[in-house]
A = this chain, B = another copy of it.
Amino acid sequence: MTITITAFERSPDGGKGLARDTRVRWALEEVRQPYEVRLVSFKAMKEPAHLALHPFGQIPTYEEGDLALFETGAIVFHIAQRHAGLLPDGANPQGANARARAITWMFAALSTVEPPILDLGTARLLEGDKPWSAQRVPLVEDRVRNRLGQLSRHLGDADWLDGAFSAGDLMMVSVLLRLRASGLLDAYPNLAAYVARGEARPAYKRAFDAQLAVNKPPAG
């Protein structure tokens, strides 16, 4: 069955790979599943046809036969459940525990680490012209640093968050990539190296290139 995902017709980041379809593309590349992409304009995202797929009017969505999903975490998890390569094999008790811990890191990336990072984007961009911006941004940066410090201490000198690379790392690296422009990651060399390890994966590179091809079509 064909897998079809949605992505921005034109990503607000101009092809830096920060739009959430990159996470889904990366997951599909890790498990070597081909997929098609339907591009959606900002206008179309708020219209009934897309809202029927995604109640919050966002991308990505995921369609495969009768199944339609939204929410990046759920889509990546679904891909990881269906295909080997993104979660430890849960067939034996030890593997089942490792699998539960990898899933934990998916939730941690999305529920604990990403929210202050998104807040920082809001503080800088959406509220960048507000009179409180200069005073408030440092507060939000401190909240991000608090999480980065905790994550850095946990990671130590390990390559990945819990044993082998997993969907938890895919999600955490994707979340941390949003911080690149801020320079905040530079204070945590082990996290910067962790992000670089993620980006160096061939599957990530293929996913990045695929979204770039949409957002920066070759000249000519």
Write the residues of chain A forming the contact surface with B, with a CB cutoff of 8 angstroms. Answer: 51, 55-58, 66-67, 69-75, 77-78, 93-94, 97, 100-101, 103-104, 106-108, 110-112, 114-115, 118-119, 127, 130-132, 135-136, 139, 147, 150-151, 153-154
B132 touches A97 (CB 8 A): no
Residues of B within 8 A of A94 (CB): 66
Provide the main secondary structure of the chain A interface: helix
A74 touches B55 (CB 8 A): no
B67 touches A150 (CB 8 A): no
Known: A100-B67, A103-B74. Is A110-B111 also a contact (CB below 8 A)?
yes
> Contact check: which of B70, B74, B101, B154 meets A69 at CB < 8 Å?
B101
> Which B residue sits closest to A101, measured CB to CB?
B69
B154 touches A71 (CB 8 A): no
B108 touches A70 (CB 8 A): yes
A107 touches B71 (CB 8 A): yes
B55 touches A78 (CB 8 A): no
